[in-house]
């Protein structure tokens, strides 16, 4: 454990200003801290190239003011908003370390009895974790590997989001139209979505003749129409408990 801590601290020279970052969609929060745990300044900057440039100017000014020899960033890795800033810093040759959101949360909850949570508090805690060497060794993927990893992460997130939406829709249908999923196993399918957008309740379907219902869906639907399922759904709607 001591060897691991010493190995992590070695790349951080003495006299460096440590800047903790709490990333967000529109604005990142930053807190600059010296190696003797004195917080020099706190500020926010836009999540854009111009915002990053403004932040660097602010940090350089604070570095000179605090008589520091250099600067190193500590970026919390919650969500995905940290990536653009990390690649920006890497392109500029500015050192940074990644701080696990779980490590930060445990440290924050352990030290803050009031359980207060704000952006600057997390940014300050990120700098503190860098100071105590509780960070992740930084190695950003590059080239084709970076693109592949990004695409896989996006695919995984979209899959989780689709599952969440499907489960939410199933829950709503259980109270509004219980028999719907007996016919359409996937309520997010093309025909199913067309039906729900036009006839969201069994009462609407039941007040229509079978052919009228099928023709109504056909006019609004694009692609292959599952007529047998539509007719079966119409029959179930007549005696639905929804």
Same domain, 28 and 110: yes
Same domain, 117 and 210: no
Distances (CA, A) of 183 to 165, 171, 193, 226: 19, 16, 13, 10
In a domain, 156, yes or no: no
When pLDDT is averaged across residues 180-193 and rounded to a whole number, the result is: 89
Same domain, 113 and 203: no
In a domain, 25, yes or no: yes
pLDDT per position as a tens digit, 23-74: 999 999 999 999 888 899 999 999 999 999 999 999 999 999 999 999 999 9
pLDDT per position as a tens digit, 189-232: 889 999 999 988 888 888 999 999 989 898 888 888 888 999 99
Q: How many domains does the chain have?
A: 2
Same domain, 63 and 8: yes
When pLDDT is averaged across residues 66-86 and rounded to a whole number, the result is: 90
Same domain, 14 and 74: yes
In a domain, 153, yes or no: no
When pLDDT is averaged across residues 235-239 and rounded to a whole number, the result is: 87
How far is C-alpha 8 from the geometric centre of its chain's CA atoms? Answer: 28
In a domain, 163, yes or no: no
Same domain, 113 and 14: yes
Same domain, 128 and 12: yes
Same domain, 31 and 84: yes
- C-alpha span between 208 and 205 (Å, rounded): 5
* Domain of 217, in residue numbers: 170-238
| Pair 181, 170: CB distance under 8 Å | yes
């Amino acid at each position: 454990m001591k060897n691991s801590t010493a190995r992590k601290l070695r790349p951080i020279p003495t006299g460096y200003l440590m800047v903790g970052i709490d990333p967000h969609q529109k604005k990142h929060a930053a807190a600059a801290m010296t190696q003797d745990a004195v917080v020099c300044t706190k500020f926010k900057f836009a999540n854009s190239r111009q915002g990053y440039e403004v932040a660097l100017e602010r940090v350089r000014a604070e570095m000179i003011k605090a008589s520091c020899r250099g600067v190193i960033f500590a970026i919390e890795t919650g969500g995905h908003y940290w990536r653009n800033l990390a690649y920006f810093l890497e392109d500029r040759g500015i050192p940074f370390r990644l701080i696990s959101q779980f490590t930060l949360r445990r440290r924050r909850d352990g030290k803050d009895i009031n359980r207060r949570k704000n952006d600057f508090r997390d940014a300050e805690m990120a700098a503190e974790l860098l100071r105590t060497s509780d960070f992740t060794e930084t190695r950003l993927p590059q080239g084709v590997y970076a693109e592949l990893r990004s695409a896989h992460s996006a695919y995984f997130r979209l899959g989780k989001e689709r599952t969440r939406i499907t489960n939410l829709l199933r829950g709503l249908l259980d109270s509004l139209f219980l028999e719907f999923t007996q016919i359409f196993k996937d309520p997010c399918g093309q025909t199913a979505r067309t039906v729900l957008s036009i006839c969201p309740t069994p009462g609407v379907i039941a007040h229509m003749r079978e052919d009228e219902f099928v023709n109504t869906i056909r006019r609004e639907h694009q692609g292959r129409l599952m007529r047998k399922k539509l007719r079966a759904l119409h029959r179930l709607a007549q005696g639905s408990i929804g």
